[in-house]
Structure 1
Amino acid sequence: MEFNFFAIVVAALSSFVVGFIWYNPKVFGTIWMKESGMTEEQGKKGNMLKIFGLTFIYSFMIAFMMPSIVIHQMGAMSMIGGLTFIETAKPSFAAFMSDYGDAFRTYKHGALHGLLTGLFLALPIISINGLFEQKSWKYMAIQAGYWIVILTIMGAIICGWK
């Protein structure tokens, strides 16, 4: 099982596609701006190179970790120490990978694990921050919803693209 760098990059870029739709004024953008206290003028003052550059780096970091969450075989791979130790792995590892090498490697299965990651990781983190920042439930729902959708898409791309 090889590491699919292109799937990671495409998954990271998916955050931009969804973000452009999600935060569009005709979708959740206007509500998000109101709930976050952001104005169009403030948004225009931002350093777009910095914002989009760091967004890609952070999205890449998230996508880079997603295989360990959405691909079951990564657990078996970690038991032998990673890709560099395949040659020295015991015969049981080769037998396992022969039997289960592509098991559950579908877009649908990856989307399921991405969805669960969004619901049980992103939603609580964003909601806890929102509670302490005294943000509205609308704000937390918009922010968490975005990450639930993104993690679902990332999971599908990374698990299904072999």
Structure 2
Amino acid sequence: MSVNFPALVVASLVTLFIGFIWYHPKVFGTAWMKETGMTEEKAKQGNLIKIFGLTLLYSFLLSFMLTQIVNHEIGALQAAGGNVNDPALKEFLKAHHGKFLSFKHGLLHGIMAGVLFAFPVITINSLFEQKSWKYILINAGYWIIALGIMGAIICGWQ
């Protein structure tokens, strides 16, 4: 019951991969650019090293936190105060180890994190910024899908 760092790295890359597809002009990219006021010229002026570097860093942080949501065995360890030698923890793991460590389970909890956390945060900020519902749904949809796939990788990769 340790953190699978290769899974976290791969899950972190998901944000870039899904973003490449989601924000492609033939998917939601054109609508997103219209809703944000972004232009091709303005996009080309961005510091890509900074943008992609920080995206990977923050995606890794998200992956690390998502582990706490999708892997219930970590919750059991936390309940045991982090004591891997706790007899109750050992009994729990003997009875239940691996029951909820699957891609499907991680996908479910990742989507739940997207719907119950990312969507409200994006919506609250967007309402104050007076953004459209189209803008909200494009960005929230991206995070719901991305967090779902990230959760699947983190929980299912054993």
Normalising by structure 1, we get a TM-score of 0.95
Residue 95, structure 1, aligned to residue 91, structure 2: yes
The answer for the alignment partner of 1:121 in structure 2 is: 117
What does residue range 30-45 of structure 1 map to in structure 2 within 5 Å? 30-45=30-45
Residue 105, structure 1, aligned to residue 101, structure 2: yes
Task: Give, in angstroms, the shift of residue 46 of structure 1.
Answer: 0.5
What does residue range 13-92 of structure 1 map to in structure 2 within 5 Å? 13-82=13-82, 85-87=83-85, 89=86, 91-92=87-88
| Alignment RMSD (CA, Å) | 0.8
The one-letter amino acid paired with 1:14 is V
Give every structure 1 segment of 4 or more consecutive aligned residues whose post-TM-superposition deviation is greater than 2 Å: none
What does residue range 127-146 of structure 1 map to in structure 2 within 5 Å? 127-146=123-142
SS in 2 for 1:26: helix
Normalising by structure 2, we get a TM-score of 0.97
Give the percent of matched residue pairs that are identical in Structure 1 and Structure 2.
56
Per-residue deviation, residues 79-103 of structure 1 (Å, max 9, x unmatched): 2233xx313x2x2211111111111
Task: Give, in angstroms, the shift of residue 45 of structure 1.
Answer: 0.3
Q: What are structure 1's unaligned runs of at least 5 residues?
A: none
Give distance in 1, aligned partners of 2:14 and 2:27.
17
Per-residue deviation, residues 50-88 of structure 1 (Å, max 9, x unmatched): 000000001000001111101111111112233xx313x
Task: Give, in angstroms, the shift of residue 124 of structure 1.
Answer: 0.6
Task: Give, in angstroms, the shift of residue 15 of structure 1.
Answer: 0.6
